[in-house]
Structure 1
Amino acid sequence: MFKVDELVVYPSQGVGRVERVESQEIGGVKADFYIVRILSNNVTLMVPVANAVNVGLRSVCPADVGQQIFESLNDRTGFTGYTGQNWNRRYREYSEKLKSGDLADVAYVLKELFLIGKDKELSFGERRLLEQAMGLVSMELAYSLGRDQEAIKDDINEMFADVIAAQEKND
């Protein structure tokens, strides 16, 4: 059970704060809901308490996990480069990872898209996924590590400075 004022992560939306727990009757059934305000866009979500875990609502990762995720972004072992994989298949895979709410999965998408961008120009859809992944990762890491989100973004961009330079050269 999450507490009022606790920071939580809602998949594909990012970090939010539990504002209150409310009871409402819907279709003749009384249920309790977490009222969560997403911090990046001020959107308010109603998440059924009984279904919160199933929809992926979770606490912000602890600092040690956040630091591991941050460091994993800089690890390029295992990336063999752009393989020419079908964009639709990749898009579906990446979208599922973003929806999973798992920070490691979202960081994987961020890193993969940055690195693919070194070998080929990213499509509009890929750039949108990259921006979404950057927002989700940087926001959670900022709260996890007690740092400013823009500073986290700057550090991530610095990690991929060679990739960004290659992309700009291709433009």
Structure 2
Amino acid sequence: MSTSAAIRERRDDDLASAGQALIRVHETNGYPVEGVSDPIGWLTPENLLKAWVAELDGRIVGHVSLASGEGEDAAALWRQQAGSNEPLAALERLFVAPEARSQGLGDRLVRAAMEEANRIGRRLLLDVMAKDQAAIRLYERLGWRRIGELSHGVPDGSTVPAFGYVAPLHREKDA
């Protein structure tokens, strides 16, 4: 069976399908820990800069977004460590549906966000829960650097261990 995968900018009419994929991810992995009572609301935060979807054979099977990084725990950690006021962005809402994993879609989604952050001149950061080892392996394989330990709050008031990461700086190709 032939499959055709594409990463493209998210459109408003993708939200329902992306929300359904998110529900399948939550049922499989417990991501996001906040739950999925309002998947479309979770996919459309107020600080959203841009979002992409992974489409496989015409179905939405993955998602990632880029948001303003201010106010994020990793941003505070980075500002403290780097002593910099550079513009920031946060990689958020990354997921690939269980039926579409092991095809490089997560890698391609993260790279789309990294390229956009570079294009708009923002340093890219993220928070990832310690339990999400596959995501951590992906980020580290792409050159992201762990900058410290964090706690991620969950709806019941408890916290789960998490880490802050910073993306590698883009290097211009030598002329």
TM-score between both structures, scaled by the size of structure 2: 0.26
Which is greater in Rg?
Answer: 1
Looking at secondary structure, tell me which structure has more strand per residue.
2
- Name the one with the larger helix percent: 1
